Chain A
């Protein structure tokens, strides 16, 4: 019953419910005082790729953190506590939504300066390779981040040094409100730029979790075999506003029809439709998972709110290790 395919659906459902519930709390309470970027509609990329990794593979994310964090197995309660600025948050309230981490499962960190974690993942992959372990570093970033110079530099270094790193580009067609067409020339692709830099690359439908999973397996095999880096370009779409819990069709940079057409290509619905023949009870299962996830996230929020805030006396802790004279 819990075939690999249904497990991927379950994971997407969980992330969707978690984020939708968080968005409501965020909007209604104004108590999560952190800039928040939801992945609602983009769950298949994180789940498809990261379900193929082991905890010993490390992944870095950009500013859209929750989906990759959860898909890698990151602790939900520690994430929610972080969003509420609590001491028990995964970054002890210092980092917020954009700086989350769970080293126990190989979620190695996230950063909100575009492109910075691309090169960092190359460095981690380099360290893995030097220690002779067959571990892989991965890095999630958007189409917009590929315009930063560090993307080109990272591809080149990774290729020439044959570093085991998987570059995962979630191409959702926008950088805030700028469409991809205004930022990258027609006739080019992110995948094509990787290939031109000597990095093996593949494109997949980022709303097809099974296709993503298959592509990720191929990428990881390639890296583990010592063949160097790999780039996955995954086409997907963000449903909500760039930052924050709301919808944004009224701002005019993209139409309601466009958003609706992508909602019609919902990665969860699509996967459910695909397995329905082999798994006739899938719709009931999805409803059950939704209810379970609702319960889980509401409980995590209630738990987070009971937790103490960091002690102000510890404000400086962590900036430096203690040093002697």
Chain B
């Protein structure tokens, strides 16, 4: 199938999974630019980071797809140093939680490098991918979504791709831009399929996407929650409630305009995120609307986020812990003028997941 995106030339589209799209972007960027290196623990192994680094290793070998010791702190600094010297390192973490060990180089150096040395000496364009261990039983330290943590720091770009096409396009942008960039990938998305252009087509940061058009309530979401919002919208449409789902694609830069245009139209806002409410993505979206179009809101903003505790392992607790389509439905009902407060629960996105990792 081919599609014509505005004035651009026609693109050859195929159906790929989310992980295949990441793999394809990686391989194409490595082919286009020999300075691109993949760096990470086990990137060369038989699992190939959920398949995402497997083809790159098969094509380019250990010289450019580099298994490193368990040294996240030094690896982040290594990536900064290599980037400053002209390389394009793509550092991969099988859990985003491990990136906390890389914070110094990312936050104190990569984010600040260009500015701190006067703005005219070049930057440290490292790219780092982190996987969120949603599934089951990953617990407190293996399932966190730290996008807002990184989004806080000026100097970094942060993407939260929700579709295969965006997983590919945003990674291409990251690997060809001069800004240090973090990509947060929810593991639950890996098997998801979608249309992906065959060409090495970048998707710009800071340009959101209306995943589903609607008129009654806006759900702004990132990553996995875009799909949860779409499922919620489907259920609500049967009740006569029309939901617009906005996928921000990147949380920094954030597409304030698409958010405000949607809320100006619907007058109602629900924000859905896989992380906590306080000081998070949902708080930021609410703040943007409160600052820019306070008069547009016909009812208070609702945030569908994690409860204020670490992730538990026991499954009933875990099910209660993770925000879901069912909770988005409830939040939408609450902000709309309707007598219903809930609808039948939807199946969880992780149904069918098999362990252990």
Contact = CB atoms under 8 A, between A and B. Distances in A.
A318 B307 CA distance: 13
Counting from the closest, the 3 A-B pairs by CB-CB distance are A93-B314, A85-B314, A96-B313
A213 to B, nearest CB: 29
B130 interface: no
B3 interface: no
B67 A182 contact: yes
A312 B317 contact: yes
B69 interface: yes
B316 A309 contact: yes
B136 A175 contact: no
Given A93-B317, A315-B312, A176 B45 contact: yes
Contacts of B6: none
B141 A178 contact: no
A16 interface: no
B73 A149 contact: yes
A35 B318 CA distance: 14
B315 A85 contact: yes
B70 A114 contact: yes
B71 A310 contact: no
A113 interface: yes
5 contacts: A94-B314, A95-B140, A244-B357, A253-B46, A315-B317
Main secondary structure of the interface of A (DSSP, over half): loop
Nearest to B74: A149
Interface in A167-188: 175-178, 182-184
A183 B314 CA distance: 35
A98 interface: yes
Interface stretch (A26-34, A121-129, A132-140, A273-281): A26-34
A112 B47 CA distance: 20
Interface string B8-52: 000000000000000000000000000000000110011100000
Given A315-B309, A315-B321, 17 more contacts: A30-B354, A33-B137, A33-B314, A33-B355, A85-B316, A85-B317, A89-B314, A93-B317, A112-B141, A113-B97, A175-B41, A244-B355, A309-B316, A310-B314, A312-B320, A316-B307, A319-B309
A93 B356 CA distance: 17
B98 interface: yes
A182 B67 CA distance: 8
Nearest to A37: B356
Given A34-B313, A310-B314, A252 B46 contact: yes
B142 interface: yes
Contacts of A26: 355-356
Nearest to B42: A176
A148 interface: yes
Contacts of B315: 33, 85, 309
A145 B45 CA distance: 18
B179 to A, nearest CB: 27
Contacts of A149: 71, 73-74
A145 B316 CA distance: 32
Given A149-B73, A177-B42, A96 B137 contact: yes
A231 interface: no
A85 to B, nearest CB: 3
B142 A177 contact: no
Contacts of B308: 316, 319-320
A309 B320 CA distance: 13
B355 A30 contact: yes
